[in-house]
């Protein structure tokens, strides 16, 4: 619960006061200018361990998401994220006792967000269900003599027996809508460490590391890897800093894009990071996990993303209109976008978003804008083509 001072601060930040007059503009300038300091430090060792379910390129900082949810909403408010990605905003909102509406068209994002919003309620129950599915998968794989239909590029990542068992297990979990277990399985799909299932491979983006770890020198890294002990260990890590009893508010997920999202409930706050001009290759960089999630052509996902300023502007027009219908009167919409560097040009996506929301579509007013630098270590692309700055734009509905 908020203290009396916190309630006064919240009221000022949201445009209403009681008692003494508050200079809202001055308040916002001071309060928001300090926000980046609260999210700049790493939270890997302190955040809810459910955030570390599986890697996701371009994932929002958990402290950023949590700070924005905390600052602009109250307990029992409804928070929406129509481009939810790996579910950072929905989970942070849920942990703060907000109701959540999340959506994304990416099948990998759908698995991770469903896993975070609807986890199995007890670690021991999760372990029991997981080991039962693994046993069934091994029996089925043996009956098929560990033969599996998979393209050559997938086969290169796994021992044949491991591939057969993991593919069979993933199919069982998908068929039975066991998204929480599937999310954990995808989280240990590829890496060079012993607790993962592939041959030596990078963790975020699937690239084999044969040169650094040649089979002749590291034969143990190319042997069969049993999925059961690795999935059990992964589940224990997932529950390490996660208490399922904390999740009590309503939540829903829709596997759709913002153009087709239909809601019955109005939200108080939207916090989202839309895709911007192929700054990130969601399909290509998640291609191996997408394949085990049932997607046979990852290229279609990247082809559907905005690739230039015109397409991004159109997407922002749709977003401004749709958020206007999703939010209650005086509701807030917070968009996190990054600058796009292509060749020698730099695209200011923040200027596009502001122009669309305030001028082209209307009905929105910019409360504040925060600039946050993205250090090289957080960028998936260290060449010219990538993101070096992020902007947090806070809009309020005016009609």
Judge whether 14 and 332 are in contact, CB under 8 Å: yes
Q: DSSP character for 5?
A: H
- 310's tokens: 């015109």
Q: Where residue 375 falls among pLDDT bands split at 50, 70, 90?
A: low
Judge whether 94 and 217 are in contact, CB under 8 Å: no
pLDDT in tens, 89-139: 999 999 999 999 999 999 999 999 999 999 999 999 999 999 999 999 999
* Mean pLDDT within 3-21: 44
Rounded Cα–Cα distance for residues 134 and 168 (Å) = 9
How deeply is 334 buried, as exposed, middle or buried, from its count of CB atoms within 10 A (0-12, 13-18, 19+)?
buried
CA distance to 281, 283, 284, 296, 315, per residue, from 300 (Å) = 11, 8, 10, 10, 17
Q: Where residue 77 falls among pLDDT bands split at 50, 70, 90?
A: very high
Q: Give the number of other Cβ atoms within 10 Å of residue 115's Cβ.
A: 26
At residue 269, the 3 state secondary structure works out as strand
Element (H, E) at 80: strand 78-81
Strand pairing category for 78-81 and 267-272: parallel
The dihedral over CA atoms of 57, 113, 269, 2, expressed in degrees to the nearest 10, equals -100
Element (H, E) at 24: helix 24-33
Rounded Cα–Cα distance for residues 358 and 347 (Å) = 19
Rounded Cα–Cα distance for residues 75 and 96 (Å) = 7
**Polymer length of the chain:** 399
pLDDT above 90 covers a percentage of the chain that reads 71
Q: Where residue 181 falls among pLDDT bands split at 50, 70, 90?
A: very high
pLDDT in tens, 312-356: 999 999 999 999 999 999 999 999 998 887 777 788 999 999 999
N-to-C CA span, the chain: 30
- In this prediction the pTM is 0.87
The dihedral over CA atoms of 45, 50, 55, 59, expressed in degrees to the nearest 10, equals -80
At residue 163, the 3 state secondary structure works out as helix
pLDDT in tens, 24-51: 444 444 455 555 555 565 667 789 999 9
Rounded Cα–Cα distance for residues 254 and 102 (Å) = 6
Q: Residue 57 has what pLDDT?
A: 87
Domain with CATH 3.40.50.150 in the chain: 34-119+246-397
Rounded Cα–Cα distance for residues 67 and 47 (Å) = 13
CA neighbor of 71 nearest in space, from 398, 275, 370, 389: 370
Interacting residues of 172 by C-beta distance below 8 A, sequence separation 6+: 133, 136, 137, 140, 178
How deeply is 45 buried, as exposed, middle or buried, from its count of CB atoms within 10 A (0-12, 13-18, 19+)?
exposed
Element (H, E) at 347: strand 345-347
At residue 267, the 3 state secondary structure works out as strand
Q: Residue 283 has what pLDDT?
A: 82
Backbone CA torsion sign across 199, 209, 283, 393: positive
- What class does CATH assign to 34-119+246-397? alpha beta
- 166's tokens: 């993991």
pLDDT above 70 covers a percentage of the chain that reads 84
At residue 213, the 3 state secondary structure works out as coil
């Amino acid at each position: 619960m908020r203290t009396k001072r916190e309630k006064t601060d919240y009221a000022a930040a949201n445009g209403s006061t009681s008692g003494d007059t508050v200079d809202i503009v001055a308040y916002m300038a001071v309060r928001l200018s300090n926000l980046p300091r609260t999210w700049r430090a790493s939270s890997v060792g302190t955040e809810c361990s459910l955030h570390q379910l599986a890697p996701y390129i371009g994932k929002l900082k958990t402290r950023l998401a949590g700070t924005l949810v905390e600052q602009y909403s109250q307990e029992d408010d409804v928070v929406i994220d129509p481009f939810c990605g790996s579910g950072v905003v929905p989970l942070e909102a849920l942990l703060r006792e907000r109701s959540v509406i999340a959506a994304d068209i990416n099948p990998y994002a759908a698995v991770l967000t469903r896993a975070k919003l609807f986890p199995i309620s007890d670690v021991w129950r999760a372990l029991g269900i997981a080991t039962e599915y693994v046993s069934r998968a091994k029996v089925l794989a043996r009956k098929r003599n560990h033969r599996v239909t998979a393209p050559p590029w997938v086969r290169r990542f796994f021992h044949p027996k491991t591939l057969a068992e993991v593919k069979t297990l993933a199919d069982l979990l998908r068929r039975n809508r066991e998204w929480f277990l599937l999310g954990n399985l995808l989280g240990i799909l590829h890496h060079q460490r012993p607790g993962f299932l592939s041959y030596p491979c990078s963790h975020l983006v699937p690239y084999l590391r044969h040169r650094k770890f040649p089979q002749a020198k590291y034969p143990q890294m190319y042997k069969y890897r049993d999925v059961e002990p690795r999935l059990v260990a992964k589940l224990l890590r997932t529950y390490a800093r996660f208490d399922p009893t904390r999740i009590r508010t309503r939540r829903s997920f829709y596997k759709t894009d913002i153009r087709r999202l239909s809601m019955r409930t109005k939200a108080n706050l939207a916090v989202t990071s839309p895709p911007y001009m192929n700054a990130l290759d969601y399909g290509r960089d998640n291609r191996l996990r997408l394949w085990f999630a049932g997607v046979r052509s990852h290229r279609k996902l990247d082809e559907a993303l905005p690739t230039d300023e015109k397409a991004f502007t159109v997407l922002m027009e749709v977003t401004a209109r749709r958020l206007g219908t999703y939010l209650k009167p005086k509701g807030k919409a917070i968009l996190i976008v990054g600058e796009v560097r292509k060749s020698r040009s730099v695209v200011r996506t923040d200027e596009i978003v502001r122009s669309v929301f305030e001028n082209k579509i209307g009905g929105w007013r910019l409360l504040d804008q925060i600039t946050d630098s993205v250090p090289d270590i957080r960028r998936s692309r260290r060449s010219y083509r990538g993101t070096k700055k992020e902007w947090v734009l806070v809009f309020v509905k005016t009609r």
